[in-house]
Amino acid sequence: MKTAVFKIWRGDAKGGEFRDYTTEVAEGMVVLDAVHEIQRTQAPDLACRWNCKAGKCGSCSAEVNGMPKLMCMTRLSEVPLEKPVTIEPIKAFPVIKDLVTDVSWNFRVKKKIKPFNPRPPDAPDGTWRMQQEDIDRVQEFRKCIECFLCQDVCHVLRDHQMHDKFIGPRFLIHVAALEMHPLDTEDRIEELRSSQGIGYCNITKCCTKVCPESIQITDNGIIPLKERVVDEFYDPLGWFWKGLKRLLNR
């Protein structure tokens, strides 16, 4: 059987190094299979997260040959096996051990975003009516599996470590899904501008490129949100209208 060499980062918050593991590879294998095989036979304490093994849960995010990937959806036939395959943890978050990182920041960020708040039901039986074409966009955003690969490649988080000023593409898409939900009545535009830091995104579209769900993060989510922020806060004509409305309402 054919073999291949995997250079896997081993270590913890204090530091670490790449270690080489040679293992057999078979037709159809994905990177996660190789990691499991190494775990089973050579390095039982090699830490990695995984669950569904079908690209649906977003647990096994890592960088394979420097590219942010779900290990379960990256087939070995897509990567050159003549040279060692490097596997390392994602970079935007602190390492816990080996391929496992501390992503708890993401859960704290989400908690701060104003939750869904629907309008009163449309029908006496407490239900709503929505047309499919009005929810297609929101459904696209709700495909997100929270693998955080978009957060990993976002230079604002990865290179500039501005986690306290910017919520990252994942949560801009979360806000977009709420803002564009036909039933939602909440207004999240002020926070987008201030505490959530949407202005830091300069639409390099790296997030869109790595999204395993092919969500058009930048074009369909972030840019329309930026437009809403501009309309609300930076449009002089808008200020004038709002002022006038306030006067008339008095």
Note the residues at the interface with other proteins (CB under 8 A): 12, 26-30, 33, 39-41, 44-59, 73, 75, 96-98, 100, 103-104, 107, 110-111, 115-116, 118, 121, 126-132, 135, 138-139, 142-143, 145-146, 178, 181, 184
Smallest separation, CB 10 to other proteins (Å):
10
In this structure, are residues 34 and 27 in contact, taking their beta carbons and an 8 Å threshold? no
Question: DSSP code of 221?
Answer: I
Q: Interior CA angle at 193 toward 144 and 247, to 5°?
A: 125
Of 74 and 86, the one with the shorter C-beta distance to other proteins is 74
CA distance 135 to 119: 16
Of 59 and 86, the one with the shorter C-beta distance to other proteins is 59
Smallest separation, CB 76 to other proteins (Å):
9
Instruction: Give the chain's length.
Output: 250
Of 125 and 246, the one with the shorter C-beta distance to other proteins is 125
Smallest separation, CB 187 to other proteins (Å):
16
Q: Which two tokens stand for residue 173?
A: 């898409």
Of 48 and 226, the one with the shorter C-beta distance to other proteins is 48
Smallest separation, CB 157 to other proteins (Å):
18
Of 184 and 226, the one with the shorter C-beta distance to other proteins is 184
Smallest separation, CB 40 to other proteins (Å):
4
Smallest separation, CB 27 to other proteins (Å):
6
Of 172 and 226, the one with the shorter C-beta distance to other proteins is 172
Closest among 73, 67, 80, 68 to 31, alpha carbons compared = 73
How far from each other are the two terminal CA atoms of the chain, in whole angstroms?
Answer: 81
CA distance 201 to 154: 9
Cβ-based neighbour number of residue 94 at 10 Å:
13
Smallest separation, CB 137 to other proteins (Å):
10
Of 104 and 204, the one with the shorter C-beta distance to other proteins is 104
CA distance 238 to 56: 43
In this structure, are residues 89 and 98 in contact, taking their beta carbons and an 8 Å threshold? yes
In this structure, are residues 209 and 219 in contact, taking their beta carbons and an 8 Å threshold? no
